Structure 1
Amino acid sequence: MPLLRLERRHCKVSRGELGRIMNYSLLTCVQQSVMNFGILMVQGLVNSFGVNVMAAFAAAVKIDAFAYLPVQDFGNAFSTFVAQNTGAQKAERIRKGIRSALWVSVGFCLVSSLLVCLFAAPLMGLFVEPGETEIIAVGVEYLRIEGMCYCGIGILFLLYGLFRGLGRPGVSVVLTVVSLGTRVALAYLLAPIPAVGLKGIWWAVPIGWVLADLAGLVLYRRKPLPAETACAPEG
């Protein structure tokens, strides 16, 4: 087929496209680096509470990550959807997609929240021996606090995907900094308070999600998006 035949004139590098790819890649690397650095900071604070808390946190985080993994992948798929329709200048499809994606994500998060909150103890039992009651109790407390707020992380993953798909990956980095920065700052501020302690670390996580969600919504509304104008990605 002539349309699929590769010719020498096709084998050239577009500097503009290469620069755009490098820009997206660099910002994604920065986003992941910020995430990992924030997680390490929180892990260091958790470690100061002793071996049992460390063990509980390690087990609970695995359950936590597994619970919202589908929503994270859904956000990645949503990014592809937005990018394709941005390139095709299908503004109305993007707007409809945002509404549909929000309903699906929130619905799934509510189901995950219910399951994790109800079955926190049995889930911890998958990773911890039944006799380790203190570890299980700490893990259950963590899971129930985080589990109540999965809608926050679900919306945040959608915002990541939305801004990446619109050609604005820098906004995703900003939201990551808001989320992780809030988590680390609040954790270190609240944990030393005797009346708060570990709960301060646990609550810092969903508070970070919610603040990042609010920041994302403000940026979405304040700056005209390509989806509402020409649907062309920013250079």
Structure 2
Amino acid sequence: MGFKKGNMQKSMIEGNTLKLILNFSIPLLLGNLFQQFYNVVDAAIVGQTLGSKALAAVGASSSVQFLILGFCMGICQGFAIMVSQSYGAKRLDEMQTYIYAGAVWTAITAFVISILVVVFCADILHILQVNDEIFNDAYAYLVVIFAGIPFTLLYNYLSAILRAIGDSKTPFFFLAFSAVLNIGLDFFCILVLKWGCAGAAIATIFAQAVSGILCLLLIAFKVNVLHVPKSSRYVDKKHSVKLLAMGVLMGLQFSITAIGSMVMQSANNALGTIYVSGFTAGMRIKSLMMCPFDALGAAVSTFLSQNYGACKLERIHDGYRKGVMVSILYGVFACVVMVFFGRILSKMFVSANESQVLNASALYLRRMGYFYPILGILITTRMSVQGLGYSARAMLAGFVEMIARCIVALCFVPIFKYNAITWADQTAWVAATLVLIPLWISTMRMVQKKMC
């Protein structure tokens, strides 16, 4: 089977490295920004209309959302790596089998995890030490988010396989449309229907469902290379083992990192509503400022994955070097923004008269900003290792991040309170980067031996 004219796929095994990576990453960046916009709009509307306590309720479970949703989305990304490698090697029959098997395993994952976390939602919030003052709102928000996991993964799996064949623009267009829809639904559900925090979650899930359905329709009618013929519609042990090995390891890497964040958030929740609100506002801005890193890392990962399938070692080296260079440059820019404008940005979520909350958010952002160039190196290197198929190594770096955050949360927060919280992420980033760089070097040696 060959490549069909008119499809929207884009091969990255030939052409200017930096141009390909940047062209691929720009739609990803815009898509990430719109996806973060879901969270930003939720938090901004909740904080400005329902107050800081409601904002704390929405933010009190952000780490566990990252744990659960991160695992699910990591699985999707891992499945897409197998699709990308097969696409780069031009083994399209194999690619289509991976697509079908990946869809089956994604559906199973979505429904099983959704049922489990909905049932145990209240217990999860108790583990996070969410106080009684905000517990009911936090539960209403989180249970809707968990119930909508199948819709969230519908978009994430389909967009992942579109990106695996070089199409980063289409997922962005659909996500942009659903972001606008989400804004309107936020206002309608919160201000008109008076559904409170649950309304913000309903708006988000509905918008994600729309973006997933649009991806499905586009693939069905336009993207011929992703159509799976009857001969490839089966789930066997060989393909499932490879998919699950890659997907589960990537999912665990997200989750292991999130466990450290959960421990940190639990420690912060015990400090009181002011610090929960400040931390929530800071986390929203942190996630927004991380979008370019995530987009660039995903672009480099896809670039390396396709070129690994095509056995082009020098392009792998070149793609990584240029990805790290751009990450560091953006990290310096992000540092300036967060250090000097963190308090101003926090006013998107917090009323100007709540000075204590604004001060807490600004302190968190300022101290974090200094380390953003290191975060860029970490994310690009980790996703490069994943793109080459060595997810276990990336998971090790995630484990180091988890340990570092747990040490700060358990040993230093009881002594230094919120001051320790504001240094926890940076400690984790530095520790993980020191582990990951040697792992990248040894990974490249292994890749070189395989290609020789």
Q: TM-score, normalised by structure 1?
A: 0.89
Greater RCO, CA 8 A, separation 6+: 1
CA distance in 2 between partners of 1:66 and 1:185 (Å): 26
Which of these residues, 233, 239, 256, is aligned with residue 17 of structure 1? 239
Q: In 2, Cα distance between the equivalents of 1:2 and 1:137?
A: 59
Q: Distance in 2 between matches of 1:11 and 1:140?
A: 52
Q: 1:40 aligns to what?
A: 262
**Which stretch has the larger CA shift, 112-121 or 216-225?**
216-225
Measure the CA separation in 2 of the matches of 1:172 and 1:153: 14
Query: Which residue matches 1:86?
Result: 308
Contact between 2:297 and 2:383, CA under 8 Å: does it hold in 1?
yes
Q: Tell me if structure 1 keeps the 8 A contact 2:250–2:386.
A: no
CA distance in 2, matches of 1:147, 1:217: 21
In structure 1, distance between residues paired with 2:240 and 2:253: 20
Residue from 353, 358, 365 that aligns with 1:131: 353
- Looking at structure 2, the residues matched to 166 and 173 of structure 1 have their Cα atoms a distance apart, in angstroms, of 14
Alpha-carbon separation, structure 2, partners of 1:32 and 1:158: 15
Instruction: Give the alignment partner of residue 156 of structure 1, picking from 366, 371, 378.
Output: 378
Deviations 1:69-108 (A, max 9, x none): 1211211121111111111111101111111001101111
C-alpha separation in 1, matches of 2:366 and 2:350: 17
The amino acid that maps onto 2:428 is G
What are the superposed Cα offsets for residues 164-216 of structure 1, whole Å, 9 maximum, x if unpaired?
Answer: 111100111111111122012122211222xx332212212111101101101
**Structure 1 gap segments, 5+ residues each:** none
Tell me the equivalent position of 2:114: none
- The count of corresponding residues between Structure 1 and Structure 2 is 230
RMSD over aligned Cα atoms: 2.4
Partner of 1:179: 401
> 1:210 is aligned with what amino acid?
V
Provide the C-alpha distance between the structure 1 equivalents of 2:367 and 2:332, rounded to a whole number of angstroms: 14
String of CA shifts for 1:55-74, please: whole Å, max 9, x gaps.
Answer: 10011100011001121121
Matches within 5 A, 1:1-235: 15-193=237-415, 196-222=416-442, 225-231=445-451
Question: 2:258–2:402: 8 Å Cα contact kept in structure 1?
Answer: no
> Partners of 1:3 and 1:161 in 2: how far apart?
27
Higher helix share: 2
In 2, Cα distance between equivalents of 1:3 and 1:152: 40
5+ unaligned residues in a row in structure 2: which ranges? 5-223
Amino acid at match of 2:406: V
- Residues 131, 88 of structure 1: alpha-carbon distance in 2 compared, 3 angstrom cutoff: same
What is the identity, as a one-letter code, of the residue corresponding to 1:225? R
CA contact (8 A) 2:385 2:443 kept: no
